[in-house]
Chain A
Amino acid sequence: MSESRFNPVPSDDKFVRLAGGQLAKFALNAMAGLALVIYLLSVLAGEAGSTTSGNAIDFENNAITIALREEPPQLDANRATDASSNVVLAHVMEGLLGYDIDAQLVPGVAERYEIREDGATFWLREDALWSDGVPVTARDFVFSWKRVLDPETASQYAFILYPIKNAEAINRGEMPVATLGVRAASDRILEVDFERPTPYFDKLVAYLTYFPVREDFYNSTNGRYGADADMLLYNGAYVMTDWVHGSTMRWVKNDKYWNRENKGFLDEIRTAYITQDINAKLNLFKDGQIVDTHLLSPMLPTAMEQRWQIDRSMDGSVFYLEFNHRDDRITRNKNFRRALQLAQDPNELVYKVLKEPSYLPGVSLFPAWLSGVSESFQKEYPPVQHQINVEKAREHLELARQELGIEEFPPLMMLAGDTPIGLLSAEYYQQLFRKHLGLEFRIDVQIFKQRLEKMRQGDFDVVLSGWGPDYNDVLTYGDLFSSWNLQNRGRYSSQDMDALIRIAQSELDPQKRMDAFGEIQHLLYEDVVILPMYERGFSFVVDPRLKDFRRRSVGPEVDYNYAYIEQSSD
């Protein structure tokens, strides 16, 4: 420090200037250091699961990139229950029947079939192959279906196989699995016996729980069937070659697929992103990283500014207020329910409160896209024209008060999900019933599983609930309020309803069957079993270079099976 002894004390300005210079030097060093750290981290990250990055459309490789909503829990079709698994399986597997580009039922593994009163026969095509080249046989279906119903498997979708003879008893553990009414008459003939007439069985077998599983392959997986890309045999238009958990998947064209001339035109589909964040998806789409995304109403102005082609589709589900019909509940009183029914208007909810342009006001439990005998069900059986009538509502409320013998109505519990739309709807009904009827509702907001559990326990007066279709038939909604349906969480029970549902399940004459559904629809309104809120739809955008992409009401929510890239003309 010898030389510094002679330095004069610098002025503040000079000090700042010199120190600032030093700081700048540090900053430069820090930048260099940062660059090094980033480099090192990138080397590390290469090993910690990376997402394939590419463009939404890769012309050279005839490939597209998409985003998945969530990571499928596993890809065992017999046990799958969630939307993401449904999307993946619909591309890599095929059932006896499937859906064509216009969502019409068409042959899949079965080239033809016959449904009789007591059973059905499916004739399998000989060129349907597994991805290892072995033919798909009737035995693969027998093995799969028995496995679904085996109580040991504990498949949550086992109920969808109940029309098969002895299925329900087997699933309850009351009969041995071997007694199931299905057998392979030969490699290519599958015989099914019914428990009761099931005219809609063709629509059921298109559902993924009915997909085939090959026994020898299943046994070779040591209980890890469907856990990884190589733990699954494929028979669909695509095969999955890579599955990095929580991160990416790759589906590649299946060159053994029998129908490759009409389905599966892309060489590769990459699911590079897993995100539920709809804003993130929109940004990825804007940046040209994924081929499609759906939009919420606040995003529509942006989409219009970008001059995107906006399409709409119904996602298939219907939402409604469900009442608790248990004995100790006020909502058991029909006049009370009628009062609520007359005080509300789904049009107001959809057009003035929710303002989602792709939603339809709820008029019935049976959504507008369902077909009846020859055209749309709602056209053949128009729902009751509902009109708000506050005066009459108050009269019914007064009647209810007298019937119940109470002075005043206590506060009631309205159970709702924690989604923005759910909350908005609950608040709308809360203020509406307060204003028109002077009733006090307390909103009980619960996350998904907790809401379901509270519904199961009957811990509500009214609940904002909904239902999505499993198969393309009115019955997928039609039997919801039968006294034996476990899904009927409000415990509505009526002999008329049960009798009508029995007809709807078993009647072979399509006209009589639809008539029964028409009466069910009427009874649901007259008995005020539910108050329909809305049918959910989506606005969505697709990269204009990708053609024939579909969003579905039944089956996978997004369908790339028929999609192809339009090669530019120049």
Chain B
Amino acid sequence: MILAYRRAAPWLAVVPVIGMMLFVVAPALNIFKMSLRFESLKILTTQTTRNVVWFTSWQAILSTILVLFVALPIAAITSNFKFVGRRALISLVSVPFILPAVVVGAAFLEILPGSLHRSSLAIIAAHVYFNVGLAVRIISTRWEQIHPYLDDAANTLGASTIRTFLTVTLPLLRTAIISASLLVFIMCFTSYGVVRILGGPARSTIETEIYFRAMQLGDVSGALIMSVLQILVIGALILLVTSTRRSKNRHSKNSQKFGQSVYSRLRNPRSIAQKIFVITIASVSAVAVVAPLVSVATRSILLREKLDTTAWRSVLSDSTIFSSLMTSLRYALITVIISTTIGLLGACAVVYGGSRYKFVSVLTALPVVISAVTLGLGIIITFDVSPIDWRGAWLMMPLAHCLVAIPIVMRVISPVLRDLPSGLRDASRTLGASAWQMWRTIDLRIIRRALVTSAALASAVSLGEFGASSFLVRHNNETLPLTIARLLSRPGDLIQAQAYAIATVLIVACAGIIAVVDRLGTREPGF
């Protein structure tokens, strides 16, 4: 790396490191410390805990298996066939993943019959809906890289399509499938908003149990133990994910680094069977993604089975809903600014500083391990002594949003920065650019798209964040997801319709964000 860049690394790392130490590491250590101090470790052996851990685990396992069953056929058509709307389909199945969890919960409340509300089935269905896009993206990225001639070779050796899939494709997809399943498993294991909305009083994951214990029972010590349990489980899983990913990377190192592989797998579906397969999978999955969203929008304009815009009008005129809208927008703006700045500084420090700065990437990834709910709890119990008595400070909530967004920003920016050919920087220097000019005209320019992408994703995180927010909300700074959850728990057609109207607003916002991200991702070859 360029000397000036390497020299800048410690300065670049200062703010991200201090920020993470203060708002993630300190609260987490505090949680560990306090949970040991309380003599309530016996909660780990109670029936309640066993029930919660058991439910959390089996629903996550089942959800993951179902996600794979749904995602594989979709990945099969998007990475093998040319068809109209292929890119749109990939974008579409990704929309649920960035939707606020409470919105997905609301959507399933609406489409599922009343008898299934508050059932495990509803939670699992919502988890599948939520995570299929993630799995499709991971699996199809790998699938597209498999050389089409391998399939042809198997065919000429006498393997049928299905045998080819089982004996050639599936083994090659193995690592992608494993990392997809582990990620999906973690998402379902730590699911919070969906369970809060769909679970009712009877169904609790570790994550919601932390909330129930701390906020409703007032049993902070019990919540802390649950948090520790959760951190340990996810930490172990993340280690597993990263170790498999590392081996996967070693695997695909020799594939081309820039641009797409020369040979495209995409072919026009030829046989009738292929056409039917593509049309069925594409249309069923598109309908399955859109239907719950449409039903949310529909619910917002129906009152007693009649078209009625009262809910929408009241959303616009209701001062509390309007103020949550403004709060959400303001926090999203703050989150975008702070998290992209910190993420950018962190990514630069990691890439420019070399191996000694790897700890920065570990630090900035911590919020994933610690989970949003625990972050919220940790912040409350940590910053409660003067001079840093910040429990009441409104800034804590957008800050928590930032913490959740920073790992994503880092993941988007770092690879682009790392893969930037250093020859470009050399060229720029021989043309007379100082280090700062070089950074501005080369590095910054080339990660510009990644910056916009990460800003878009950060805004989605902030707009949908529910876990940490439910701890940090004060009487005057409710955000839209919190408002939805509050309204949904109250009776009355109009109030429910208002919740669905707000959910519609968030759906539209998230669809817009995915559109921005995918447009940037596909335009212009190279970068």
A and B pair up? no
A interface vs B, CB < 8 Å?
Answer: none
